[in-house]
Chains A and B, each alone.
Chain A
Amino acid sequence: MSDPNQSEAHKARSRRNVALGGALALFVILVFLVTVVRLAQNVAG
C-alpha cells in the first residue's frame, strides 16, 4: 500500500509547480505591459 503522505507530497509538488508556472507567466505579462506603457510615455514625450 502506498504511503498517503507520499502521495500528498506528490500532489503538493504538482500544485507548487503549477503555482510557479503561473507566477512566471504573470511576470512575463507584467514586464510586457510595463514595456508598452513606458514606450508609449516616451513616444508621447
Chain B
Amino acid sequence: MPQAPVDAPVAKTKPPALPQDYFQLLKPRVMSLVIFTALTGLVAAPGEIHWFLAAVAVFCVAVGAGAAGALNMAIEGETDALMRRTRGRPVAAGRVAKGDAFAFGVILAAFAVMLMGMAVNWLAAGLLAFTVVYYAWFYTVLLKRSTPQNIVIGGAAGALPPVIGWAAADGSLALNAWLMFAIIFVWTPPHSWALALYTSDDYAKAGIPMMPVAKGPKSTRLQIFLYSLVLAPLAVVPVFTGLGGWLYGVIAVCGGLAFVGLAWRVYRSRAGEKPGEREEGLYDVKAEAKTARDLFAFSILYLFALFAALLVEHGIPGAA
C-alpha cells in the first residue's frame, strides 16, 4: 500500500468554539443594562413578589436578552464582518457557525419564556417573548435595512425590560411602567445616533441606512437635539406621578440640562462631516467627532443614574 510522505500537508480542522465565544453571543454589555432596568421595574412596582421568584424573573429577562443577542448575531453575521465595531463577534469572525448561534438563541429564548411563565406569571412571559421576537425578527430582519427610523422603532425592544420587571412583580401594567418605557424609548435615538455620527462610514459600508448615512450628519445632529428637548422634561415626569422622589428629581433635572447642553454642542459641531472620524477604540475619535463621543458616553451615564435613583428610592426604605 502506498504511504503518504511524512511531510505531506495535513487537512486542518476548524478550531472548536470556546465557551467565551458563546458568552459573547449573549452581548453581555447590553445584557447588563437590560438586567439593571428590569430590576428597577421589578423593585419599583407596588406588588409583592418572593425574593427567589424575583431573582428568577431577572434571570429570565437576562437569558431572554442574551437569546435576542445571539439570534441577532446569527442573522447579521455577514453584515457584522463588514464593520470594525462588530467584526470580532463570534459569528462574524467565524468562531461560531451561524446555525449553532441560531439554535443557541432559540433554545435560550424558549427556556427563558417558559421558566418566566411557570415561575412568575404569563404576562411577564408574554412580554419577554414579544421583546425577543421584536428585536430578533422585526428589528434585525425587517427594520434595520429598510428605514433610517430603524433605531427609533426598534428602540421599543430595549425599552421593554422595566415593563417586564414591573409585570413580574405586580402582574399588571401601570402608567409608571410605561413611563419608564417611554424614557428609554426617547433616550435611544440620540444615544444611538451620537455613536452613528462617528461610525457612519462603517454603516455605509455595510449598507445599513442609519440616520447619518441616509439623511446626512446635519439632519442627524438636529434630530439628536430635538429628541434631547423631549427627553429632558419627560425624565422629570416620574416625580409628578409618584414614581420618582427628590433624589430622582435632582438627577433628572441636572442630568437633563447636561444632556440638552451636550446635544446642543453636537448640533453646533461638524460631527459626522468627515469620514473616518473614529480611531481604533469605541471612544477614540478625531477632534471633529468629540462632541458626539461625549454625548454618547454621557447618555449611558444619564440613563444609568436615572434608574439607579429609582432603584435606591424603591429598594431602600426611607430613601425616597
Residues on A lying within 8 angstroms of B by beta carbon are 3, 5-6, 8-9, 12-13, 15, 19, 27, 30-31, 33-34, 37-38, 41
The stretch of B14-22, B69-77, B279-287 that contacts the partner chain: B14-22
Interface contact A38-B119, CB-CB below 8 Å = yes
Contacts beyond the supplied A5-B15, A30-B56: 10 A-B pairs with Cβ under 8 Å: A3-B10, A5-B12, A8-B15, A9-B13, A9-B16, A15-B19, A30-B115, A31-B118, A34-B56, A38-B119
A37 to chain B, nearest CB (A): 5
A33: B residues at CB distance < 8 A: 52
A-B contacts, 20 of them at CB < 8 A, read: A3-B10, A3-B13, A5-B12, A8-B15, A9-B15, A9-B16, A13-B16, A15-B19, A19-B19, A27-B111, A30-B56, A30-B115, A33-B52, A34-B52, A34-B53, A34-B56, A37-B50, A37-B52, A37-B53, A41-B50
Given A9-B13, A41-B50, A34 contacting B118 (CB threshold 8 A): yes
Please measure, in the bound complex, the distance between the C-alpha atom of A41 and the C-alpha atom of B51, giving whole angstroms. 12
Q: How many residues of B contact A (CB 8 A)?
A: 17
A12: B residues at CB distance < 8 A: 16-18
Residues on B lying within 8 angstroms of A by beta carbon are 10, 12-19, 50, 52-53, 56, 111, 115, 118-119
A45 to chain B, nearest CB (A): 11
Given A19-B19, A34-B53, A37-B53, A5 contacting B118 (CB threshold 8 A): no
A11 to chain B, nearest CB (A): 8
